[in-house]
Amino acid sequence: MRRTLLVKESLIKIFIWITAFLVLSFLFLIVGYVLKNGLAHLNPSFFLSNPKRLGKEGGIASIILSTFYLTTLAIIFALPIGVGSAIFLSEYMKESVGKKLLTFLTETLAGIPSIIFGLFGFAFFVTWLKLGFSLLAGGLTLAVMILPTIIKTAEETLKAVPKSYKEASLALGATKKQTILRVLLPAAVPGIITGLILALGRAIGETAALLLTAGSSAKTPTSFLASGRSLAVHLYILATEGISLEMSFATASVLIVLVLIINSLANGLQKRFQKKLA
């Protein structure tokens, strides 16, 4: 019996290792292929000049600026709402059917395809609020997209803070509000930032939702009500319209490096947060 269990355990381990090897192999193959064809086209001019001839020449200066504006707007709108919702769910709302329903809806919202968010943003922000195809409409749509990730991460982070922190604060005479603002939130900041960074990773790589809300203008945006093109949208247009394969690979390389940096920062902060609470 014991020998049979050992054989089964060995087979399961072999299967897991083979699966992990295949996944990593495909990942390195894809990333390596893109970087091999894209890094050769990266130079200072590529980052400092605007696209020319629909993106066939020039660089991505205005694209980077538009991406920065979109992600900044998303953070400004999503972070306070997300953290506030997490505090309400973890500290004020008792276990009930209502809380389970809200948690279920939040998790469901996180799994909705991005094109649905794009249609919502187009109908609500672009059309109904009459913002037009603008950075503001795109940023608000991204904020709605990343909100579930921020809420869930912040809620779990607040729950992970040792109860002794809260009990000690209340025992010293602090109110619940003071305990949350001065004890729980500071302890949970690294975890909240981790969730925010992960959410930004999704926002930077978003295409469908931004095409329907922010538009696709490659010009340098002069205001938040102007149309703008993110890196992912720029890559999509270059590749699908066959404008320039070299520029497509170069833009894809920048996007991959950005996502890798973001994920590395998130992992680093998560490990730091776990050590702090250990």
Q: What is the pLDDT of residue 260?
A: 83
Name the band, by pLDDT with cuts 50, 70 and 90, for residue 278: low
CA distances, 241 to each of 51, 56, 192, 231 (Å): 15, 11, 39, 15
Name the band, by pLDDT with cuts 50, 70 and 90, for residue 6: confident
Asked whether the predicted pLDDT for residue 159 surpasses 90, the reply is no
Asked whether the predicted pLDDT for residue 138 surpasses 90, the reply is yes
Asked whether the predicted pLDDT for residue 135 surpasses 70, the reply is yes
Of 139, 133, 275, give the one whose Cα is nearest residue 214. 133
Phi-psi region of 161 (alpha: psi -120 to 50; beta: other; left: phi over 0): beta
Residue pLDDT, tens place only, 178-237: 888 888 888 888 778 888 888 888 888 888 888 889 888 888 888 888 988 888 888 888
Residue pLDDT, tens place only, 61-119: 899 999 999 999 999 999 999 999 888 888 888 777 777 888 888 888 878 888 899 99
Q: What is the pLDDT of residue 44?
A: 85
Of 54, 72, 63, give the one whose Cα is nearest residue 242. 54
- What does the buried/exposed string (b/e) look like for 3-19 if buried means 16 or more CB atoms within 10 Å of the residue's CB? eeeeeeeeeeeeeeeee
Q: How many CA atoms lie within 13 A of 186 on its CB side?
A: 7
Give 147: exposed, middle or buried? Use CB within 10 Å, 0-12, 13-18, 19+: buried
SS3 content of the chain, % helix, strand, coil (to 5): 80, 0, 20
Q: What is the pLDDT of residue 91?
A: 83
- What does the buried/exposed string (b/e) look like for 187-224 if buried means 16 or more CB atoms within 10 Å of the residue's CB? bbebbbbbbbbbbbbbbbbbbbbbbbbbbbbbeebeeb
What is this structure's pTM?
Answer: 0.85
Residue pLDDT, tens place only, 160-169: 888 888 888 8
Q: What is the pLDDT of residue 173?
A: 82
Of 207, 210, 202, give the one whose Cα is nearest residue 259. 202
